[in-house]
Structure formats: structure tokens, C-alpha cells
Chains A and B, each alone.
Chain A
């Protein structure tokens, strides 16, 4: 069975600093990869996804993630964070045809 590890449970950074949230998954078979964001007191929203093609995928609010097959990783990055990026971020990987497996989440805290 597929498993997902988010290596950091909490990441504090200063505003306008770069950030990387790390995600590793267990299986090297063909997978789909996702990052979801959860703002306080809300459900999860899709941030970006990798299905195939270019290994670098981008979101509309400046985040990007790179699929690395050899390292089975899908790390999320942003070159300059804003206070509004404060949220919990979940990495997910497909398991079979219909299900996703989620990581434990990384809480991103932005300090002014």
C-alpha cells in the first residue's frame, strides 16, 4: 500500500522568505501527486497536482512543486511567502484507480 510522509509537522518562516515543504511517498510505480491547502476552519482545497509531463507544476498563487521519480518526492516551494499563506498543507498520492492517500500535514506559520 502507498504511504506518504511529510517530513516536517510545523514550519515557521518570516514573511517574504522562501519556504519548502517536503513530501515523500513510498511507491515508485506510476502515481498522481497532489498538494492541498487547508486554511483555518475550512476544508481542504486543491493547490496543484502532477499527472504527467513536465515535472514542475505551478499554482496560481506562486507555489510550485517538483516531481522527482528517483527520490519519490514531491516537495512544495514558494520563493516569497505572505501572511495569507498561513495554513496547513497536505501532500497526497494516488492509490489505485480511485483513492488518494494523505500525509500527516505540515503547518506553515508566517511571522511578520
Chain B
């Protein structure tokens, strides 16, 4: 069964900490995405990557960075966590074209205290 795996299901971090969220896919997908999900706001794109070492800002990149050193792994980095980054973070991957749709991970619920 094809999978997108997010390393943590729940995470609690302190304000100012550097936080790493990891995502791994086993489908040889070219594209990988990071979204945050907040009630009433749906899914908002943070960053996406269409190839190794390539990245593009999404709609809300401020306060985040990403890393894609290998095709299967896409990391989201919160340089200095703040309470307004408390959210559900969803990773997704897809083949090269949007017509294939996305495969999502189960999500990481991050709480910043």
C-alpha cells in the first residue's frame, strides 16, 4: 500500500524552539507539499517542492522553511516556533501532474506553548 508517512502524530514544543516536521513517501512522486489546516480556513499551502533541492513558496511561507535533499523526504522547519503556528500540518505528495491528485499523510498536530 502506497504511503506518505509523517514522523510524529502529536508534538508539543516551546515558543522559540526550532521544530522539524518530517515527511517520507514511498511512491517515487516528484511533487511534495506542506499544508497547514485550521478550522474554518481549510488547507493553506506553505511550501511545495517539484524536485530534489527545488522548492517554491506557497500562500503562507512566513516563519517556515523546507528542505528536500532526497526525492522521498520533505522536511518542514519552523525556525523559531510561535504560538500562532499551533496547527495541524499535513504533508502530501503527487506525481508530476495535478490530474493525479495528492496522497496525504495522517498529519502532525503541533502545539506551541
Contacts and interface: CB of A to CB of B under 8 A. Distances in A.
Interface of A: 6, 9, 32, 34, 36, 41-46, 49, 51, 90, 94-100, 102-105
B45 interface: yes
Interface string B14-28: 000000000000000
A103 B37 CA distance: 11
Interface of B: 4, 31, 33, 35, 40-43, 45, 48, 50, 90, 92, 94, 96-99, 101-107
Contacts of A94: 98-99
Given A9-B40, A42-B107, A90-B43, A100 B102 contact: yes
Contact of A102 (B4, B42, B48, B103): B42
Nearest to B90: A43
Specify the main secondary structure of chain B where it touches its partner. Answer: strand
A74 to B, nearest CB: 14
B98 A97 contact: yes
A6 B35 CA distance: 18
B112 to A, nearest CB: 20
Contacts of A104: 40-42
B85 to A, nearest CB: 19
Given A98-B31, A98-B96, A46 B101 contact: yes
Contacts of B94: 98
B65 to A, nearest CB: 19
| Max count, chain B CB within 10 A of own CB: residue among A42, A90, A100 | A100
Given A45-B104, A90-B42, A90-B43, A98 B98 contact: yes
